Amino acid sequence: MKKILIIGSGGAGKSTLARALGSILGLEVIHLDAWYWNPGWVETPKTEWQSIIQDLTLRESWIMDGNYGGTLDLRLSVADTVIFLDFPRILCLSRVIKRRFIYAGQSRPDMASDCPERLNWEFLKYIWSYPITRRPGILEKLSQPRPNQQVIILRNPTEVRELLEKISYY
């Protein structure tokens, strides 16, 4: 496990899992939100974003969390381990709402600076529709892993804890 990609719906716990794995494995954690968003919630231009992802994936080892479908194929092509947090949408929604209150008026640790936590209907709709609009395509991509690529699908927080315990043990 040298290049670990963590994907899943907003609120699934990608960044939290990335930090935990980074601590256990001693690998650099790359939160894609912190690279994509510029101060004031300004998006990185598409061509620049592709270049950033290319450079990040060339690093010797990493744990990378985030979706960003336009670069998913590139990240999947180099990851030796892919963890898909396939959680119920109600859990993801409740976590995002809770996160909004925890980080009210401030940026999360996994977010770019000067991007205070926000919550809008567009993001809530994205999370609600994720199982229908995004999940099937992700499962299709994950059904055809590269040789020597491990795909782990976790469906609830208990499975996440069990994975962390298993990795800590080794």
Q: Give domain limits for the chain.
A: 3-169
Residue 135: CB atoms within 10 A of its CB come to: 16
Q: Which amino acid is at 71?
A: T
pLDDT band per the 50, 70, 90 thresholds, residue 170: confident
- Look over the chain and give the mean of its residue pLDDT values, rounded to a whole number: 96
pLDDT band per the 50, 70, 90 thresholds, residue 160: very high
Closest CA to 63 of 10, 9, 104, 22: 22
Q: What is the pTM of this model?
A: 0.95
Phi/psi of residue 96, each to 5°?
A: -65, -40
Q: According to CATH, what is the number of the domain 3-169?
A: 3.40.50.300
Q: What is the pLDDT of residue 36?
A: 97
Least confident of 82-86, 109-113, 147-151: 109-113
Q: What is the pLDDT of residue 149?
A: 98
Structure tokens at 48: 């620049």
pLDDT band per the 50, 70, 90 thresholds, residue 169: confident
Closest CA to 6 of 75, 99, 70: 75
Encode pLDDT of 70-102 as tens digits.
999 999 999 999 999 999 999 999 999 999 999
The percentage of residues in the chain with a pLDDT greater than 90, rounded to a whole number, is: 96
